[in-house]
Structure 1
């Protein structure tokens, strides 16, 4: 969440940035400052009374020791008055702190000055246009949901039978391809200096709140009521929280983490070809990369992560482009986000396969994640990116590489899959 000092000292910059999201947040920012003023006043009054009580308690002890019981009794009455006064004050203070935190939780992150203003995907900026010609498999090209049956890649009906719509079952060559992609991405990430983790798939409320999934995306998360736990929507959540509450040495930075997990999202349902097959599912596999960086280095690290994801797509031979998201299309917690889209030849449209974001101090303020500097301690910047999400990667690989002799696999995957092409099974 945003820091109160930022809202106080950089009010106009904050308001200008939030306007890029289409928000007029002046009243909300002012309310936070007012609540913080009240918190300070209540805290000061409470601390003054507690200091007086402690001082009187010491005096009372000395008076009793010296036999001056009447004076001690008089001061004890004042101690009792203070106790009666501090109780309500502490209750007001606790209520104000809770109200302040809830008000801060409702404010999204401030976009970086380079983020374009806008409300929808139409306002996103093409940051890196695609290079070269897009693949044209021909008029007979089939979408991946048709190829899936011929090649035994995944079965949507089995998923409906066992769970419900949006839960595909990968079979045979498809299961092998999915496992190959996970291993390929993890190997490339660890070669780039990321340490691999296998985190839990369920997290508690504090963890989901620390990275900003709560309260913003509560409706999109699967909740296990009996255990008060949430299924993760992305490995970003548990990976980043591994460092919650930590105070790191500067020479340990940047911290680079990667992990593979299934991801679970209760996305709003819609219909049409754009959500058929693997285009939108409720459970999917994804490999994530996370960095914890010094503030002055974080945008260089963001560029590094963008280049890394681009390299993965180039190794897979997938045409892609990079968008810089506008304020209104960006995630609640992000200060800047780049989306990667790959070309789907049979569907003749771009499919999002990765988001790479810098959250600046928005997450670390919730995480209480700091590092030591010559000036004391400061909040770190957190970053994350998909490297990569599998469903639409698989969709594009199938559609773009279909031939009369099977589906050709990228050379980089031959050793992982154990073959050069996928052959029909029906």
Structure 2
């Protein structure tokens, strides 16, 4: 959420940042609500002071036997009490309207985020690795002979509907190996704390990280009012929800390998073949909670954690700095990592690494106490995939495919597969 004091101090800068997001100026509307709220609070305080004075005078009038004055003052106390109640109700309504407006606005882009409307305006920072050079036309993952028996969309559709998949045999084991490999690297080498989280959360947690109120249709809500997490960012970030922690607690670095659930409400007709865009998928999610002065460096560290997985798997990728129009709701800066998929002959997103500044912390009321004293400050929060397991599975299959339909597997995964190095064309590990 946004700092109302910052909007009061620099409304032009706030509107300019919204414009970078493609939004119309809103500072005047916000400040008008803020002023109306503050006017009613002040008026209620003035009325309360009047009531307090009148209440004291009531006793004096009663003691003096001035019945007319007593009745007049008693009526004034009743009037002020009603006025205070009305003003407090109006202030509460204005405050709620202001909160609702601010909660629905995206974070403001950092100064170094390029302007732009969509992915066409993103900036490529670097490429790593070399896409394989095939002497045959590469297939998409679901077309490979090695995959046919292990990736079943028809049965999954019978069980659950479209955009689900049933993995079995070597493909299921490879998927599990990838998740285990990712969590091992992030914990043993990159120093993140492995965390097992629920996949159901209450509504306040979804508000805390910004999925609500604006993006409820993108997630699944249960009949008892809980939500299936679209990413473990929700659970990991909200660990500090409502807390004021010691500065020495920072940074906190968590990683979780969880199932994620997304309705894909706005993606009708996109990536309908294969398992690129699913309602249920597994992701290795990283979250950091940091001191404000450290968050930019922390984003670079997280980016390297994500890129390192692809380096070890020998997969070619490129890293993009997203323009303001292509960033997620809560981010002030986002790097996307896109892996090379030979079957599509293009790079596709496999990780987003974002810093949210104090945006989520304000929504969660998550603060830290400076070690040198002073008022508590909001923490900064960051999140990133390290990586999306299903999309990494796709990349491993497509980049390792052979002309006979078999798949050569990355060396880094061999220990997780009992020393097996390939999936043969019949779908068996060998």
For Structure 1 versus Structure 2, the TM-score category normalised by the shorter chain is over 0.9
Q: Which residue of 2 aligns with 1:44?
A: 42
Structure 2 unmatched ranges of 5 or more: none
C-alpha spacing 1:149/1:161, structure 2 compared with 1 (3 Å): farther
Q: How does 1:243-258 map to 2 (within 5 A)?
A: 243-258=240-255
Distance 1:237 1:296 in 2: 23
Cα shift readout 1:71-96 (whole Å, capped 9, x = no counterpart): 76654433212111112112111110
Determine helix, strand or coil for the equivalent of 2:128.
coil
Distance 2:312 2:111 in 1: 32
Distance 1:34 1:184 in 2: 53
Cα shift readout 1:369-402 (whole Å, capped 9, x = no counterpart): 1111233111111100011111211111001012
Q: Which residue of 2 aligns with 1:159?
A: 156
Structure 1 unmatched ranges of 5 or more: none
User: After the TM superposition, which of the residue ranges 406-415 and 385-394 deviates more from structure 2?
Assistant: 406-415
Q: Which residue of 2 aligns with 1:302?
A: 299
Q: Which residue of 1 aligns with 2:354?
A: 357
Cα shift readout 1:90-141 (whole Å, capped 9, x = no counterpart): 211111011101111232111011111111110000022x134311233243
TM-score, normalized by length of structure 2? 0.92
Q: How does 1:172-191 map to 2 (within 5 A)?
A: 172-191=169-188
Q: Which residue of 2 aligns with 1:32?
A: 30
TM-score, normalized by length of structure 1? 0.92
1:342 aligns to 2:343 (yes or no): no
C-alpha spacing 1:87/1:393, structure 2 compared with 1 (3 Å): same
Distance 2:289 2:129 in 1: 35
User: After the TM superposition, which of the residue ranges 405-414 and 299-308 deviates more from structure 2?
Assistant: 405-414
Aligned positions, number: 420
Q: Which residue of 1 aligns with 2:136?
A: 139
Q: Which residue of 1 aligns with 2:396?
A: 397
User: After the TM superposition, which of the residue ranges 68-77 and 29-38 deviates more from structure 2?
Assistant: 68-77
User: After the TM superposition, which of the residue ranges 391-400 and 52-61 deviates more from structure 2?
Assistant: 52-61
C-alpha spacing 1:61/1:255, structure 2 compared with 1 (3 Å): farther
Aligned pair partner of 2:110 in 103, 109, 112: 112
Distance 1:50 1:369 in 2: 33
C-alpha spacing 1:291/1:154, structure 2 compared with 1 (3 Å): same
Root-mean-square deviation (Å): 2.2
Distance apart, 1:49 and its partner CA: 2.5
Distance 2:212 2:377 in 1: 24
